[in-house]
Each structure stands twice: as C-alpha cells, then as structure tokens.
Structure 1
Amino acid sequence: MSSLSIRPVSSKPDRKAFIDLAYRLNGDDPNWVAPLRDEVASTIDPAKNGWFSHAEAQLFLAERDGKVIGRISAHIDRLALEMPPEQGFGPGTGFFGLYEAEDRETSDALIARAEQWLRDKGMARAIGPVSLSIWEEPGLLVKGYDHPPTVLMGHHPPRYRDWIESAGYAPVKKLVTYELDITGPFPPLIQRVIAAGHKNKRIHIRQVDKKRFAEEAAIILGILNDAWSDNWGYVPLTQPEIDDVGKKLKPLVYEDLIRIAEYDGEPVAFMITLPDFNEALKPLKGSLFPFGWAKLLLWLRKPKAVTMRVPLMGVVKRLQSSRLASQLAFMMIELIRIEAVKHYGSSRGEIGWILDDNQGMIAIADAINSRINREYLIYAKPL
C-alpha cells in the first residue's frame, strides 16, 4: 500500500523539486504561464528576497512512493503580526502559500503540516494562500480560469478551492482585477475631468526618470505606504523588498508608463504600469534555453504587448476623499493609455488587484467602463 509523507525542504535538490512540481502539475493548463525557474528560486531564497528581512518560512514537500506530489510553505511575517487585527492580520496570524497538490489527500496532509508548524511557532490563525508576501501573489483564483494571468498574477486549478474550503478555511477577503478596452477615449465626463486637470497649474503629471531609479522608487514607496496604510491586509513595504523588486522589475520599467502626480510641487500620487511580460514568457515554458533569453531580450528592448497591467497606484491619504484624488487618477490613466496604444501596440488594460471593498478604486474602474475579469479569495482558519 502506498504511503504519503510530508517533510521539510532541507537541501538544494529539495528546493529544485519544490520548484519543478508546479511545472508538472500545471503544464497541461493552456492558461497557466510558467514562471522562469530562476525567478521562483529567488522568491524562496532568503538572500535574494527582501521579504525575509522581516519574515521566516518553512517549505514542505509531499511524497508518495518516492514521487513528489505536493508542496506548501508555512510562514510568519513579523510586520504582519504588528498590524491592527481589524486590518486583517495582527498578533497570532501566520500564513500558508506556494500551494500545489496532486490530490485531496495530499492537500489535506500539506495544509495540516503547515498548520502544525504555525501552531508550534505560537500562531493562533492561518491565512492563505499568500505566496509569500501580500505584495507578491496573494489569494486563490476563483474566477477567470479561461484566460492567462497578466504579469505578477497567480493562476490556479479550480479544484484547489474545494480542497482548501474542505480543510476548514473560510473566505475573509476578495481581490479583483478589472479589464478594459484602451483603444478609444474614455467617456465624455471623464474627458472633461481630465481636461480641467490639465488646465490647473497646481497639477503636474510627470514621467519617472529611470536614471534616478532609486530616488524615484523612494518617492513611490513613500506615497504607497501612506496611501495603503489603512487597507485590509496592509503590511509596510520595506526598503530591502523595494531593492530586490527593483532589480527584478527594472527591465520592465518604461518611463512613459509610470507617472508621478505632483500638486503644488509635492508628489502626491503615482501609477505604475507594466507591459504584460507574460505574453513574452508563455511560449518559453519557464526556460531561457536554448533561445528563450534572446527572445526576451529583444522583447524587452522594444516590447509589444496586447495588455498593460496597472499593479499599483496610490494617492496620499489626506487627499483620498477629495475630488482631486480621482482627477489625478484619471489624468495618469489617460496619459499612460495614450502611450500604451501609440508606442506598445496595446489594446487592453488590466487594473488590480483591488480589494473588493475599495470603493474609491471601484468607482474609478466603473467610470472608465472596466469590468471584473478575475477574482481571488484569501482564506482564514483558527488553529
């Protein structure tokens, strides 16, 4: 009779097996985009992921008859422990993530092992899947299986939802993404709002300067941590994380696609847009060899992307209830829309993820005729 075992990842071969499993289990899904193996390896390497400066994680493998059939991470974010409980995390909250399983029995055993690790660390509640940081790939896909994810978004088999819920987890937050046609102008009312903004001499919308990358990143980080500080699930984004993400994303930074809004000379809002790197990545199936590296270099030099993704935008907290906040957002969106169509051949935009109770962002998405195309659930369970 076959036996199932769960063991901690403890060696380089174990880490390779942990990474490789996702490619075997998801390889037949036409909408799964295989990440570059080196990028996944960096995510789980404390020396290459700044998140580990305030967090710890244990990876586990599931095996049956010597074959790896599942994986999971159990992790604790010390900054998340310091957050107010009413914002989602707080004392006693641990996480699981990087979850993949071949069958329900394996899923149950993996989740139970992750929970036990968290209990042994003094945690009283588990939240997941969060892989690994809330700023990376949070949530389980529950709507949008019929199309590939955009850059930095997750994609999961439908069966995982039932397995996680049957293990006693209940949804605590929904994250959504919105898609929209960007080939034409926005509705007349929005055009008037944008036109009025351009006439206001107190407003200046500028491109970022890639030659001042560190300085621009610091400006955006300051706005981000202020703008998002009251949101559910907020954990401060730290400088080590910014440094590592900067190294990873710098090749995808195009000055005309990232904007900073200034009011009376003060930076008060930003919008980051990325060409959908997954469009170039998908045909490579996770490997740069033999010719994948050359194809990616050519694409990065002058990308053509059907889709542009807006992963992050924010307005300083003191302006969030004002009309100026939405005006600045519409102005940045329109400026980037024009550049995306003209210089990158784009026809589609995707905004998010967005918390499903973020009324300000939802109102902006609705005003420019966007529609929800993907939904993710974050689950919780008392331990």
Structure 2
Amino acid sequence: MSAHHEGPVTIHPVKDKNDLREFVELAFRLNRGDPAWVPPLKGEVYGLLTPGKNPWFEHGKAQFFLARRDGRTVGRISAHIDELALAQPAERGMGPGTGNWGLFEAEDEDSAHALIAAAEDWLRGQGMTRALGPLSISIWDEPGLLIEGFDTPPTIMLGHNSPLYRAWIEAAGHRPAKQLRNFAVDIADGFPPLVNRIVAAGEKNDRIRVRRVDKKRFDAEARLIMTILNDAWSDNWGFVPLTDSEIAYVGKKLKDIVFEDLIRVAELDGEPVAFMIVLPDINQLLIDMDGSLFPFNWARLLWWLRKPRSRRLRVPLMGVVKKLQNSRMASTLAFMMIEFIRRDAVRDYGAKEGDIGWVLDDNQGMNAVAAAIDARINRVYQIYEKPL
C-alpha cells in the first residue's frame, strides 16, 4: 500500500463518544501485531481521558485529535496544557509557555506529521511557545517515547510504542530534551557484598526504622507517601506536584494491587523521610486480556491478586526527603528498603527480577543506586521539545 494511491489525511477534533471510542480503539488495532504491546484496560483509558473522572482535568485542559483517510481512522494525538506545569520554574523542564502532547499513534508518516502539526497548532492557539512530549497525559502517567527496549513487554505503568515513531517525530522538528531510564535487576540471589554491608550497618542504627505500610490505614499511608514524594521530587526535571484529589485517585486505583510487605516507609528519629513502592506486575495477566475484564478476566485477576505470583516486580516510585538527598543516610535508607522488600518478594511472590524506573538520565543518586545493585538498563524513553 503506497500512500499516493490513497486520499489525503484529514484531522478531526474528538467531539463525541463515537470519536472517543475510535481514539481508544485505534491503539488496539495498530498495536495488535506487536507481541510486546500490553493492551491497557479500556475502562482505565476512558478514565484517563474523561474530565470529571481524572482529577488532572481540575488543573489541565486537553484536545484530542483523530487522523482519517478514506473514511478510516489512521492516527490519534492529544494536545494539552497543565496549569500546575506552567507554574513550575522553566529550568526544571516545564514552566511558562510549555504545552504538552501525547497519546500518539499513527499508521504512517503522513498521518503522523498531520497529527503533530495539529497538536502544535492547538498549543500555539492557546498561547504556548514550546511543545514538550509525549506525555499521556501528565508526567505521572506515561512520560516519553520508547526508543530502546522494544523486544520485551513493559511492566505495569510503562508505555510501549512502535519503533517507527521516533524517526517521524524527529522529522517533524522535535529534539530530545531528556531521557528516562528503566532498569532490570536480578533479585533472587541478593545484592553485592557492599550493599549488604550498608544494610547491616543501617539495621544496627537505632535512629532508623524501616516499616511496612498498614493497609488498614490505607488513606493516611497514601497521603503520607505522596507528601514525601512531593517534597522528594520537587527539584527534579519535569516535576509537577500531585494535588490532593490526584493523590486520592491514584490511591483508589492502586488499592487492589498494593501489598503491605511490598511497600516500605523509612523513619529517621521517628520522622517519615523515605518510601519505596513496589507493585506486582499485573501486565503479565493483561497481555492476554485484550483490554477487557469481562466476562472471565475479572475473576482471573481477583484470584491472582489474592496471592500474586509475579516473576517481575515493578518499583515505580521511591523518594527521600529533600533535606537528606545526596547524603550517605539517603543511600543507606534506599538500600535498606530495597533489600527488605527483596527478601519478602523472593519468599512470598516467587519474584526473580525487579524493574525500576523511571530514572532521569542525570539523576546521579538513583543511577548510582542502580549501579550498586548491578541493575542494567532495559528500556529508555525520550521526551522531546520543540519551540512553537
């Protein structure tokens, strides 16, 4: 099928439920042939895209677009603006004038360029002077375009896309702004001696207490963790604070896949100063479900969640309060949380591998922790920017 035998590409803003359904379904049609693509649950995707469901829309606005050719939908993209991102200092990646785009899928380069141009035009019309993307929809959802690591399915909360997209986006004038790394680490046999020595010393230190979360106090624990997170990450490139309603929303979504022995809070002199969240890799079930929990997948999922056996566990988030960052105490607490969770994960979940990310390419602390536990980079995501 060569492009010149077909009609022109036309761009259509998503206006109604039918358009939105095409927007969601297109990803399934275009990616179905990719054995490493994990179909998201459609209910979750609609939740992400719907004002009133996703609290991001309390401080952001989005326009979704479809590309059509000869009556068929051949691509999609979102363009969006986040008031909280605009309020960040420009040297940390976001800031005044920076709009975003994402949720990009395209069948061919012509429709890709038409979609990217439509997103840029919309952002320009909203007074934006720079485009930063892809983000689906916030930096906390799925940031970046996958540029390395196409051969294996991603774990929970990581995106996956066609290897063709990179060249199309770069041909449209978008330049790399930042890379996010994801690491794989073998956990069955424990960590190198240096790490074990640091953990043993930490265990003897009376000032330190590393505890599990208490699921009976789930809401309070979620708030505590997110409060540490907002402080710990506040100087990071790309940071946008999570609002109270977003914290509640994330908590509700994670509640079913949160296990007390996989989440730790570290206290120093009685004050909570660090946390680490680990999730079983639900993607190993989703990959066969084609986006739907019905009719039988719901039961399979609930059964699995009662006692998940998960070869791979994912570490989506960890953080240490800002005042301790780059200190020896910070790395001690990080190694202790990682090791304590590793012991439980191997014993209780049959886990063999950890998956850690995203880590900014210039985050020295986390890259050093990854090196110390012999982690290897298994996926790289790139965020692009373009002046408008």
TM-score range, shorter chain: over 0.9
Matched, 1:245 2:250: yes
Matched, 1:231 2:229: no
Contact 1:50–1:243, Cα closer than 8 Å, also in 2: no
Matched, 1:162 2:173: no
SS at match of 1:283: coil
Q: Deviations over 1:235-292 (max 9, x none)?
A: 1111111111111111010000000000010000000000111011111121222211
**Please, which of 334, 342, 356 is the counterpart of residue 337 of structure 1?**
342
Distance in 1, matches of 2:281 and 2:380, equals 18
Contact 1:125–1:381, Cα closer than 8 Å, also in 2: yes
The aligned counterpart of 2:304 is 299
SS at match of 2:287: helix
Residue identity matched to 2:340: L
Distance in 1, matches of 2:224 and 2:293, equals 34
Contact 1:98–1:131, Cα closer than 8 Å, also in 2: yes
1:5 is displaced (CA, Å) by 1.1
**Please, which of 132, 141, 147 is the counterpart of residue 136 of structure 1?**
141
Alignment of 1:39-50 (within 5 A): 39-50=44-55
The aligned counterpart of 2:57 is 52
**Please, which of 370, 373, 376 is the counterpart of residue 365 of structure 1?**
370
**Please, which of 92, 112, 115 is the counterpart of residue 107 of structure 1?**
112
Matched, 1:201 2:206: yes
Matched, 1:83 2:112: no
SS at match of 1:32: coil
The aligned counterpart of 1:274 is 279
SS at match of 2:288: helix
Residue identity matched to 1:364: V
Percent identity of equivalent pairs: 62
**Please, which of 14, 17, 24 is the counterpart of residue 19 of structure 2?**
14
1:141 is displaced (CA, Å) by 0.2
1:3 is displaced (CA, Å) by 2.7
The aligned counterpart of 1:146 is 151
TM-score normalized with structure 1 length: 0.99
Structure 1 residue runs of 5 or longer lacking an equivalent are none
Distance in 2, matches of 1:290 and 1:222, equals 38
The aligned counterpart of 1:351 is 356
The aligned counterpart of 2:215 is 210
Distance in 2, matches of 1:373 and 1:3, equals 39
Q: Deviations over 1:180-231 (max 9, x none)?
A: 1000121111111101111111100000111111111111111111110111
Distance in 1, matches of 2:301 and 2:326, equals 42
294-303 or 357-366, which moves further after superposition? Answer: 294-303
TM-score normalized with structure 2 length: 0.98
Residue identity matched to 1:355: L
List, as ranges, runs of 4+ consecutive aligned residues in structure 1 with deviation greater than 3 Å. Answer: none
The aligned counterpart of 1:320 is 325
SS at match of 1:284: coil
Residue identity matched to 1:334: E
Q: Deviations over 1:329-375 (max 9, x none)?
A: 00000010011111111100011110000000000010011011100
Residue identity matched to 1:204: R
Aligned residue-pair number = 383
